[in-house]
């Protein structure tokens, strides 16, 4: 599958822990294009796994995303994004900066998440939370097309993920149309 991504887009990775979001991001994007919730947790709390720092970590993540999109820089959000509300905040930021948002969904069998998470050196992910995240993802799938993404790409096997390529396309007219004036800065509830 070839995934077209406008060069000024927001890419929203969606997938439970162990679905391979960070691996996919590393493979297809420059490290500076990727804004990860774990990296933001580390920046605000010295610990990638600090769950009690979630609000501050996402405030930082949303801040970085907004500023990058305002400058027209391709930006990839590496966070689970399985909750509609998490995606809604990102979609609002993209819309207000007049940038397209593209969803890339890593929708793999639960057994894959379990086996990968079981052998991870970087963290231990409780099986319960992975099931919960997978459940949220499955319930999200039928909603994604109506949430406001310019493209929704669902990768639903390890083979599809391995074969996926990313093609950068010219930036959207939305962001570059001078007739629309400067991008608006906003303050959002979670940002």
Residues at the contact surface with ligand CTP, assessed by CB under 6 A: 15, 17-23, 38, 80, 116, 120, 125, 161
Specify the residue, 22 or 160, whose C-beta has the smaller distance to Mg ion.
22
Sheet of 151-155: strand order equals 34-36, 75-78, 10-14, 101-106, 151-155
Specify the residue, 46 or 121, whose C-beta has the smaller distance to ligand CTP.
121
Specify the residue, 114 or 168, whose C-beta has the smaller distance to ligand CTP.
114
Q: Closest distance between ligand CTP and the C-beta of residue 4, in Å?
A: 22
Phi-psi category of residue 44: left, alpha or beta, with phi > 0 → left and psi -120 to 50 → alpha: alpha
Structure tokens at 105: 């969904």
Specify the residue, 35 or 161, whose C-beta has the smaller distance to ligand CTP.
161
> Which residues, in sequence order, are bridge partners of residue 6?
169
How many other C-beta atoms are found inside a 10 Å radius of the C-beta of residue 159? 9
Q: Closest distance between ligand CTP and the C-beta of residue 23, in Å?
A: 3
How many residues bind Mg ion, per CB under 5 A? 1
Q: Closest distance between ligand CTP and the C-beta of residue 160, in Å?
A: 11
Q: Closest distance between Mg ion and the C-beta of residue 21, in Å?
A: 5
Specify the residue, 101 or 130, whose C-beta has the smaller distance to ligand CTP.
130
Structure tokens at 155: 């990768």
Three-state secondary structure call for residue 183: coil
Structure tokens at 109: 């069998």
State the binding partner of 17 from Mg ion, ligand CTP, none, CB within 5 to 8 A by kind. ligand CTP
Q: Closest distance between ligand CTP and the C-beta of residue 58, in Å?
A: 14
The DSSP-derived string for 138-158 is HHHGGGGGGTT-SEEEEE-SH
Ranges within 9-48 binding Mg ion (CB under 5 A): 22
State the binding partner of 116 from Mg ion, ligand CTP, none, CB within 5 to 8 A by kind. ligand CTP
Q: Is 172 among the residues that bind Mg ion (CB under 5 A)?
A: no
Is-contact 77 12, C-beta < 8 A?
Answer: yes
Q: What is the spatial distance between Cα 24 and Cα 127, in angstroms, rounded to a whole number?
A: 22
Contacts with Mg ion by CB under 5 A lie at 22
């Amino acid at each position: 599958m070839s995934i077209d991504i406008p060069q000024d887009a927001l890419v929203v990775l969606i997938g439970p822990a162990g679905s391979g979001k960070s691996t996919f991001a590393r493979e297809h994007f420059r490290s500076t294009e990727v804004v990860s919730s774990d990296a933001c947790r580390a920046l605000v709390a010295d610990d990638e796994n600090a769950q009690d720092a979630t609000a501050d970590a996402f405030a930082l993540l949303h801040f970085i995303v907004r500023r990058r999109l305002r400058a027209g820089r391709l930006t990839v959000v590496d966070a689970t994004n399985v909750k509609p509300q998490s995606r809604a905040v990102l979609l609002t930021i993209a819309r207000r900066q007049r940038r397209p948002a593209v969803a890339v969904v890593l929708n793999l069998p639960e057994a894959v998440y379990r086996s990968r998470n079981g052998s991870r050196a970087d963290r231990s992910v409780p099986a319960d939370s992975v099931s919960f995240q997978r459940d949220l993802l499955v319930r999200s799938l039928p909603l994604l097309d109506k949430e406001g993404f310019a493209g929704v790409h669902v990768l639903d096997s390890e083979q599809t993920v391995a074969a996926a390529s990313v093609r950068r396309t010219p930036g959207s007219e939305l962001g570059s149309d001078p007739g629309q004036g400067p991008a608006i800065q906003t303050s959002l509830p979670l940002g």
